[in-house]
Structure 1
Amino acid sequence: MEDAVVSAATGAMGPVMGKLVALLGDEYRRLRSIHTEIKSLTRELETIDAFLENMAEAEDPNPQDKAWMKEVRELSYDVEDNLDEFMARVIADKSSKPDGLVDNIKSKLKRLKARHEIAKAIEDLKKQAMEVSQRNKRYRDHAMSNTSRSPKIVDPRALAIFEDVSKLVGVDGPKKELLQRLADDQQQTKLVAIVGFGGLGKTTIANQVYQELKGQFQYRAFLSVSRNPDIVNVMSNIYGQLNHGYSGGGTENLQTLLAKILEFLQNKST
């Protein structure tokens, strides 16, 4: 469902960007006087589109993200409706042929009024887009501020790692492959990524593999982190799992913790 929300938002933005580019082309050269406004709106929407692309990579957008994406989708529909109207007016104006001086003057005044109205509409759309961007920025600044005051190491979804793996469907194959990759005889550092949509049990499989292999290693660590983890706390957690004599709760910085971990693991094979 979350992917559908992201796809709907990003999908709605595509046609809008294409039509804005078209308005800058020769076919609509009568709008040349408002090219600056069109380019400004385009840049604002490109910024929003970049945020959407980043969100598309998230496993499960939070409620605030989903609300913002819905707002973006509605904005894109408003912009597209206006662009369709602009294009229709320009094409209709091109097809009309004034007869005589009076009609020619009326036609020019009509075109001037149309360009003014289009420029005003584009400026209004740009303001809407800026408001959408600013609301998103305010939310993210607020979220980052809360994160810095109350850092979280453990992802709430980490509770799922204790779920009985038998409840998950189709995990035996991936689990077996992971065990084979990690338990071979090659004495070298290994990194294995588990990717997939949210809720598929990636963390659960990782924990099951860890539980089966941890007996082969004297020094090991397992933890799940949030999207915006406090790296110092993460390193402190890892060091605490490696060195059971470490109580934590100190004022170590990241460099100090990394140095302690490296020193502790020096010349240790397992």
Structure 2
Amino acid sequence: MEAALVSAATGALKPVLGKLATLLGDEYKRFKGMHIEIKSLSRELVAMEAFLLKMSEEEDPDVQDKVWMNEVRELSYDMEDSIDDFMQSVSSEDKKPDGILEKMKNSLGKMKARRRIGNEIGDLKKQIIEAAQRNERYKAREAFSKAKNTTIDPRALDIFKHASELVGIDEPKAEVIKLLTKGVSTQEQVKLVSIVGSGGMGKTTLANQVYQDLKGEFKCRAFLSVSRNPNMMNIMRTIFSEVSEKDYANTEAGSIQQLISKTAYFLADKRYFVVLDDIWDVDTWHVLKHAFPVKSSGSIIITTTRINDVAESCRSTPFSGDIYCIRPLDMVHSRQLFYTRLFNAEENCPSYLKKVSEHILRKCAGLPLAIVAISGLLANTERTEGPWKQVEDSIGRALQRNPSVEGMMKILSLS
């Protein structure tokens, strides 16, 4: 939906920019007053188009930006109409009327038309600038508001939980550790495991638990999130900072290639353990992998991703890799997570809520984040069958209306 909105706004701007470029050509140079206005307007719209194209890369544009994009689209349509009127009035000058009186009337009419159209274009330019300024003004207020009340990614909180608080983690953790450590003592290459699964399955939590268990065996280690739109310069500086135990501020920026070379040189004769969490595309991995020497006996890498092609790319040459497909929680662990959060134990759940609870858990399909989100919602709901049944019947809508689980819903929607 957001992508369609951006596309509609940029689509409306393109013909306007094309016609403004025509008006700046030699054919219309004689209209000097309008030429200046058109040049200024054209610069404004080019900058606006560049911003809209950048906006198309956003996962979730905010409401204020969406309102502004609608304004841009409507103003673009009005502007195109005015430009068409002006071009038509100019082209009609080729038709020469007969008689002095007709010529005077025709000339006066054209002057009025051009003045009117010029005023319209000037007014539309003013509206475009005002819309942009209004958008910036309210976005500044919104940024201040968000700074005071920031939504924290629930996955970031989960990695700080003690292992005893996590449900169903022991078996997958043991399986990943086994994949990482089998044959490590005899092989020269780095061992890599790519954990793959949809959003909310607990990939980050699992990777962090393995990291906490094994990091003590490595002097050079790093754990960082790559994310969907990574800043590769910051990521490479963070990796070098962590493996070399230097403050981030004391690492030189340089170029990405220089940072990769510097990191690879530093790790060349060392055992290291690196976790690269949440990789979204193959190209990102192809850049990052060059920072890690392949011939480093005893070193290990974990990557996490929700995309199978990325997992396949991570585990292939030059690393000796495995893919670990994270599984949803079974019903036993799903119940444990759900009832512990709501009642401290399954035995404390009232009998009249058992049936509806089972139906809700089936809908959650073993997805830990969904179970956490639903139980968080139910914790603030009257503990009677009616309201719980309503949540069961409209889980999606109920979640979307509840601000306490907004961050979780963003993660689930990305899946």
Do Structure 1 and Structure 2 share a fold, with TM-score over 0.5?
A: yes
- 1:117 matched residue in structure 2: 116
**In structure 1, C-alpha distance between the alignment counterparts of 2:83 and 2:75, rounded to whole Å:** 12
2:31 alignment partner, SS class: helix
Matches within 5 A, 1:91-240: 91=91, 93-147=92-146, 149-150=147-148, 152=150, 154-155=152-153, 186=189, 201=198, 207=204, 210=207, 214=211, 216-218=214-216, 221=223
**In structure 1, C-alpha distance between the alignment counterparts of 2:93 and 2:81, rounded to whole Å:** 20
Q: Is the 8 A contact 1:155 1:224 kept in 2?
A: no
Give the AA of the match of 1:22: T
- 2:90 matched residue in structure 1: 90
Deviation sequence 1:31-72 (CA, Å, 0-9, x none): 343100111111222222222122111112122222221121
Deviation sequence 1:103-137 (CA, Å, 0-9, x none): 22223222222221122111101111011110121
Greater displacement, 127-136 / 32-41: 32-41
Give the AA of the match of 1:100: G
Give the AA of the match of 2:36: T
**In structure 2, C-alpha distance between the alignment counterparts of 1:157 and 1:78, rounded to whole Å:** 46
Deviation sequence 1:56-94 (CA, Å, 0-9, x none): 111121222222211211111111122222222222x22
**In structure 2, C-alpha distance between the alignment counterparts of 1:146 and 1:212, rounded to whole Å:** 34
**In structure 2, C-alpha distance between the alignment counterparts of 1:45 and 1:222, rounded to whole Å:** 39
Deviation sequence 1:146-165 (CA, Å, 0-9, x none): 34x4374734687999xxxx
- The alignment covers a number of residue pairs equal to 216
**In structure 2, C-alpha distance between the alignment counterparts of 1:185 and 1:88, rounded to whole Å:** 76
Q: Is the 8 A contact 2:89 2:114 kept in 1?
A: no
Q: Does 1:11 align with 2:11?
A: yes
1:98 alignment partner, SS class: coil
Deviation sequence 1:192-217 (CA, Å, 0-9, x none): 9x9xxxxx946868637735863554
Give the AA of the match of 1:94: E
Q: Classify 1:48/1:216 alpha carbon distance in 2 versus 1 (closer, same or farther; 3 Å).
A: same
Q: What displacement does 1:14 show?
A: 0.8
Unmatched runs of 5 consecutive residues or more in structure 2: 160-179, 251-266, 274-415
Q: Is the 8 A contact 2:158 2:205 kept in 1?
A: no
- 1:81 matched residue in structure 2: 81
- 2:413 matched residue in structure 1: none
Unmatched runs of 5 consecutive residues or more in structure 1: 162-178, 195-199, 244-252, 257-265
Give the AA of the match of 2:117: I
Q: What displacement does 1:20 show?
A: 0.9
Q: Classify 1:90/1:222 alpha carbon distance in 2 versus 1 (closer, same or farther; 3 Å).
A: same
Q: Percent identity?
A: 42
Structure that is richer in strand per residue: 2
- 1:52 matched residue in structure 2: 52
1:97 alignment partner, SS class: coil
**In structure 1, C-alpha distance between the alignment counterparts of 2:57 and 2:48, rounded to whole Å:** 15
Rg larger in structure: 2
Q: Classify 1:59/1:160 alpha carbon distance in 2 versus 1 (closer, same or farther; 3 Å).
A: farther
Give the AA of the match of 2:33: S
TM-score normalised over the length of structure 1: 0.62
**RCO (CA 8 Å, sep 6+): is it higher in 1 or 2?**
1
Q: Classify 1:58/1:103 alpha carbon distance in 2 versus 1 (closer, same or farther; 3 Å).
A: same
Q: Classify 1:111/1:29 alpha carbon distance in 2 versus 1 (closer, same or farther; 3 Å).
A: farther
Q: Classify 1:159/1:89 alpha carbon distance in 2 versus 1 (closer, same or farther; 3 Å).
A: farther
Q: Classify 1:156/1:38 alpha carbon distance in 2 versus 1 (closer, same or farther; 3 Å).
A: farther
Q: Classify 1:67/1:32 alpha carbon distance in 2 versus 1 (closer, same or farther; 3 Å).
A: same
RMSD of equivalent CA atoms:
4.5
Matches within 5 A, 1:15-34: 15-34=15-34
**In structure 2, C-alpha distance between the alignment counterparts of 1:71 and 1:144, rounded to whole Å:** 21
Q: Is the 8 A contact 2:34 2:118 kept in 1?
A: yes
